[in-house]
Amino acid sequence: MSTPAQRHLTSLEYLEWERCQESKHEYFNGDIFAMTGASRKHNLITANLLAGLYTRLRHKPCEIYSSDMRVKVSLTGLYTYPDIVVVCGEPQFEDAILDTLLNPILIVEVLSHSTENYDRGKKFGHYRRLPSLQEYLLVAQDQCQVEHYVRQPDEAWLLREYKHPEDLLQFIALNCELSLAEIYERVI
């Protein structure tokens, strides 16, 4: 998360303001944080994941959203734009504009040097407060490495790391899998 770009706003003021902006901003505790653009590798990885998940989920009751779908963590008040979000079943939104998702089942963040610590730490702390969230994926850009967190019945999170192109990443909540070779196609 970068430094705040605005004065303190309420969440309603933020949403009204954000919906008029050309660029995206996260919101937490009254502060607004500008988001930066993504690298070529980041975009390729995100596109590969979107394509792979879409192919596997197209006949299931799931929807896949890119980084333009805002997610709200209601228990903490964070508004953010994950790289990929999946919801299965009926999506729940904050209001009738349908641009702020409340019930993701999977969130994917492609790591960058500027966001890696935040994505692993504070942001994941917020995401863990989403009752619907079952899986969290952290994908490295500069090496073949994926960290896959899966919520356990006791609310603990189990981590499994994948580091080889032939590894198959199994999405438990989605009942599908992707190879790392597919995720990193044209990247590594």
Tokens coding 156 = 């603990």
| Residue 89 in tokens | 């079943």
pLDDT of residue 155: 95
Domain with residue 176: its CATH number is 3.90.1570.10
Model pTM?
Answer: 0.94
Longest dimension (CA), the chain: 48
Q: Which residues contact 7 (CB under 8 A, 6 or more apart)?
A: none
Residue 1 has a pLDDT of 52
Residues 13 and 44 reside in one and the same domain: no
Residue for token pair 């790391």: 161
Sign (positive/negative) of CA torsion 11, 156, 136, 159? positive
Alpha helices in the chain (DSSP H): 11-18, 40-57, 116-120, 122-127, 180-183
Query: What's the structural domain count of the chain?
Result: 2
The structure tokens listed for 102 are: 């409340």
21 and 44 together in one domain: no
Q: Are 184 and 45 in contact (CB under 8 A)?
A: yes
Residue 138: its pLDDT value, please?
A: 98
Residue 10 maps to a domain: yes
Which residues fall within 8 angstroms of residue 100, CB to CB, at 6 or more apart?
15, 70, 71, 72, 79, 93, 94
Contact between 4 and 29 under an 8 Å Cβ cutoff? The reply is: no
Q: Is residue 188 a part of any domain in this protein?
A: no
Which pLDDT value is given to residue 7? 64
If asked whether residues 31 and 73 sit together in one domain, one would say no
Per-residue pLDDT tens listing for the chain (188 residues): 544 444 689 999 999 999 999 999 999 999 999 998 899 999 999 999 999 999 999 999 999 999 999 999 999 999 999 999 999 999 999 999 999 999 999 999 999 999 999 999 999 999 999 999 999 999 999 999 999 999 999 999 999 999 999 999 999 999 999 999 999 999 99
Identify the residue whose tokens are 């960058």: 112
Rounded CA separation 21/75 (Å): 25
Residue 31 is part of which domain span? Answer: 1-35
CA distance 49 to 108: 9
Q: How far apart are CA 111 and CA 117, in angstroms?
A: 9
139 and 83 in a common domain = yes
pLDDT of residue 36: 86
